[in-house]
Amino acid sequence: MEKKIIATDKAPAAIGPYSQAIEAGGFVFASGQIPVDPATGNIPNGIEAQAKQALTNVKNLMEASGLSMDNIVKTSVFIKDMNDFAKVNEVYATFFENDFPARSCVEVARLPKDVLIEVEVIAAR
């Protein structure tokens, strides 16, 4: 099996021994994207702003792969507080124009850099 590393400076750089995304077998597997602005390193305040930045990072990774958000078939959303579920959904819905991908959403105890949200995706070519 051939695999291709996907990398872009329009999403946060990997902060450990992993790739931003890997393409293999016609799929792109993106590592979890946290709401770090790759240009400044800043993390916005509030769940809506953080959800928007995390999903913007996902979108930029898809574009670096030659894909769009419409190619995403599965998302996993990790949030710090399940009470933010409705707010996350409002932002999430603005990033998809056609059919929504399958999705998991779970509350977690802690995320890298103590952010409020992390999003990972699988896309099909």
* Model pLDDT, residue 63: 98
Name the amino acid, one letter, at 45: N
Q: How is domain 3-124 classified at the CATH fold level?
A: 60s Ribosomal Protein L30; Chain: A; (3.30.1330)
* pLDDT per residue as tens digits for the range 47-75: 999 999 999 999 999 999 999 999 999 99
pLDDT band at 15; cut points 50, 70, 90: confident
Identify any residues that bridge with 58 across adjacent strands, giving them in sequence order.
Answer: none
Is 113 a residue of the active site? Answer: no
Farthest-apart Cα atoms in the chain, separation = 42
* Model pLDDT, residue 98: 84
Eight-state DSSP code of residue 95:
T
Q: Is pTM beyond 0.95 here? A: yes
* Model pLDDT, residue 97: 87
Catalytic member of 49, 105, 111, 122: 105
